Amino acid sequence: MTGAKTAVEWLASVAPDPEACRWEWERSPLGVALLPAGRAWDVLILPGDLGCPTLDVLTRILDQPGPVLADFGDNRVGFLVPPGTAARWLGTGIRTAGPGTWIVVPYPGRSARGVRWLVPPDGSGTLTDPALLELAMHEAAAGPARKRDLGG
Protein backbone atom coordinates (compact mmCIF):
# COMPACT_ATOMS: atom_id res chain seq x y z
CA MET A 1 0.00 0.00 0.00
CA THR A 2 2.99 2.31 0.41
CA GLY A 3 3.39 2.44 -3.37
CA ALA A 4 -0.24 3.51 -3.83
CA LYS A 5 0.16 6.21 -1.18
CA THR A 6 3.31 7.49 -2.86
CA ALA A 7 1.58 7.41 -6.26
CA VAL A 8 -1.37 9.34 -4.82
CA GLU A 9 0.96 12.01 -3.45
CA TRP A 10 2.85 12.25 -6.75
CA LEU A 11 -0.31 12.59 -8.84
CA ALA A 12 -2.07 14.96 -6.42
CA SER A 13 0.99 17.23 -6.31
CA VAL A 14 0.03 18.68 -9.72
CA ALA A 15 -3.49 19.61 -8.61
CA PRO A 16 -4.21 23.25 -7.78
CA ASP A 17 -5.34 21.97 -4.36
CA PRO A 18 -3.71 18.58 -3.62
CA GLU A 19 -5.79 18.07 -0.46
CA ALA A 20 -9.04 18.63 -2.39
CA CYS A 21 -7.82 16.19 -5.03
CA ARG A 22 -7.22 13.48 -2.43
CA TRP A 23 -10.62 14.24 -0.86
CA GLU A 24 -12.30 13.89 -4.28
CA TRP A 25 -10.63 10.54 -4.91
CA GLU A 26 -11.61 9.18 -1.52
CA ARG A 27 -15.20 10.38 -1.50
CA SER A 28 -16.32 10.55 -5.11
CA PRO A 29 -18.44 7.59 -6.22
CA LEU A 30 -16.62 7.76 -9.56
CA GLY A 31 -13.16 7.39 -7.97
CA VAL A 32 -11.58 9.91 -10.34
CA ALA A 33 -10.14 13.41 -10.21
CA LEU A 34 -9.38 15.96 -12.91
CA LEU A 35 -5.68 16.80 -13.01
CA PRO A 36 -3.86 19.35 -15.14
CA ALA A 37 -1.45 18.04 -17.74
CA GLY A 38 1.73 19.93 -18.51
CA ARG A 39 3.11 20.25 -14.98
CA ALA A 40 4.71 16.94 -14.04
CA TRP A 41 3.69 15.13 -17.24
CA ASP A 42 2.01 15.43 -20.62
CA VAL A 43 -0.13 12.69 -22.10
CA LEU A 44 0.05 11.16 -25.58
CA ILE A 45 -3.31 9.57 -26.37
CA LEU A 46 -3.26 6.77 -28.93
CA PRO A 47 -6.22 4.96 -30.46
CA GLY A 48 -6.69 1.68 -28.61
CA ASP A 49 -5.87 -0.48 -31.62
CA LEU A 50 -2.41 1.12 -31.65
CA GLY A 51 -2.04 1.93 -27.95
CA CYS A 52 -2.48 -1.61 -26.61
CA PRO A 53 0.06 -3.20 -28.99
CA THR A 54 2.43 -0.27 -28.32
CA LEU A 55 2.24 -0.98 -24.60
CA ASP A 56 2.97 -4.66 -25.34
CA VAL A 57 6.12 -3.64 -27.24
CA LEU A 58 7.20 -1.24 -24.47
CA THR A 59 6.80 -3.86 -21.75
CA ARG A 60 9.06 -6.21 -23.72
CA ILE A 61 11.89 -3.63 -23.89
CA LEU A 62 11.49 -1.82 -20.55
CA ASP A 63 11.37 -3.13 -17.02
CA GLN A 64 8.87 -0.44 -16.10
CA PRO A 65 7.28 1.96 -18.58
CA GLY A 66 5.75 5.15 -17.24
CA PRO A 67 2.10 5.25 -16.17
CA VAL A 68 -0.48 4.35 -18.82
CA LEU A 69 -4.22 5.03 -18.73
CA ALA A 70 -7.01 3.44 -20.76
CA ASP A 71 -10.58 4.59 -21.20
CA PHE A 72 -13.62 2.35 -21.01
CA GLY A 73 -13.29 -0.40 -23.59
CA ASP A 74 -9.63 0.48 -24.26
CA ASN A 75 -10.70 2.79 -27.11
CA ARG A 76 -7.92 5.22 -26.16
CA VAL A 77 -4.64 4.62 -24.33
CA GLY A 78 -2.77 7.51 -22.70
CA PHE A 79 0.96 7.39 -22.01
CA LEU A 80 2.34 9.80 -19.41
CA VAL A 81 5.43 11.44 -20.92
CA PRO A 82 7.72 14.32 -19.86
CA PRO A 83 6.27 17.85 -19.84
CA GLY A 84 6.80 19.64 -23.15
CA THR A 85 6.30 16.50 -25.25
CA ALA A 86 2.76 17.47 -26.30
CA ALA A 87 3.96 20.77 -27.79
CA ARG A 88 6.62 19.01 -29.88
CA TRP A 89 4.67 15.92 -30.95
CA LEU A 90 4.03 15.66 -34.68
CA GLY A 91 2.47 12.18 -34.96
CA THR A 92 -0.68 11.89 -37.06
CA GLY A 93 -3.73 10.51 -35.29
CA ILE A 94 -2.21 10.97 -31.82
CA ARG A 95 -3.97 13.36 -29.46
CA THR A 96 -1.91 15.27 -26.94
CA ALA A 97 -2.60 16.77 -23.54
CA GLY A 98 -0.20 19.41 -22.28
CA PRO A 99 -0.50 22.77 -20.53
CA GLY A 100 -4.07 24.03 -20.46
CA THR A 101 -5.66 20.56 -20.63
CA TRP A 102 -7.10 18.39 -17.88
CA ILE A 103 -7.09 14.61 -17.64
CA VAL A 104 -9.50 12.29 -15.84
CA VAL A 105 -7.28 10.28 -13.49
CA PRO A 106 -8.42 7.34 -11.36
CA TYR A 107 -7.10 6.74 -7.88
CA PRO A 108 -4.04 4.46 -8.15
CA GLY A 109 -4.79 0.89 -7.18
CA ARG A 110 -8.57 1.19 -7.50
CA SER A 111 -10.95 0.55 -10.35
CA ALA A 112 -12.95 3.51 -11.58
CA ARG A 113 -15.77 3.88 -14.03
CA GLY A 114 -14.65 4.89 -17.48
CA VAL A 115 -10.88 5.02 -16.98
CA ARG A 116 -8.30 2.70 -15.47
CA TRP A 117 -4.57 2.28 -15.10
CA LEU A 118 -2.92 -0.24 -17.42
CA VAL A 119 0.39 0.68 -15.76
CA PRO A 120 -0.23 2.51 -12.50
CA PRO A 121 2.19 5.18 -11.32
CA ASP A 122 4.59 4.07 -8.60
CA GLY A 123 5.22 7.55 -7.22
CA SER A 124 8.80 7.69 -8.45
CA GLY A 125 7.98 10.09 -11.27
CA THR A 126 8.98 7.57 -13.95
CA LEU A 127 7.56 8.62 -17.33
CA THR A 128 7.72 6.99 -20.74
CA ASP A 129 10.52 8.31 -22.95
CA PRO A 130 8.82 9.79 -26.04
CA ALA A 131 11.55 8.50 -28.39
CA LEU A 132 11.06 4.95 -27.09
CA LEU A 133 7.31 5.38 -27.30
CA GLU A 134 7.60 6.44 -30.93
CA LEU A 135 9.78 3.42 -31.75
CA ALA A 136 7.33 1.12 -29.96
CA MET A 137 4.46 2.68 -31.93
CA HIS A 138 6.25 1.98 -35.22
CA GLU A 139 6.95 -1.60 -34.15
CA ALA A 140 3.33 -2.09 -33.06
CA ALA A 141 1.99 -0.61 -36.30
CA ALA A 142 4.33 -2.78 -38.37
CA GLY A 143 3.23 -5.94 -36.58
CA PRO A 144 -0.12 -6.40 -38.42
CA ALA A 145 1.48 -5.46 -41.76
CA ARG A 146 4.26 -7.98 -41.19
CA LYS A 147 1.69 -10.71 -40.42
CA ARG A 148 -0.20 -9.90 -43.64
CA ASP A 149 3.04 -10.01 -45.64
CA LEU A 150 3.88 -13.40 -44.15
CA GLY A 151 0.38 -14.72 -44.81
CA GLY A 152 -0.57 -14.71 -41.11
Instruction: For 107-134, write each residue's pLDDT tens digit.
Output: 887 767 788 999 999 999 999 999 999 9
Find out whether 77 and 125 touch, Cβ atoms under 8 Å: no
* DSSP helix/strand/coil, 81: strand
Kindly tell me the burial class for residue 3, based on how many C-beta atoms sit within 10 Å of its own C-beta (0-12, 13-18, 19 or more): middle
Residues pairing with 105 in the sheet: 33
Q: What is the percentage of the chain residues whose pLDDT exceeds 90?
A: 66
- Residue ranges per structural domain of the chain: 1-142
Distance CA 106, CA 77 (A): 14
Angle, CA of 67, 71 and 76, to the nearest 5°:
85
pTM metric for this prediction? 0.89
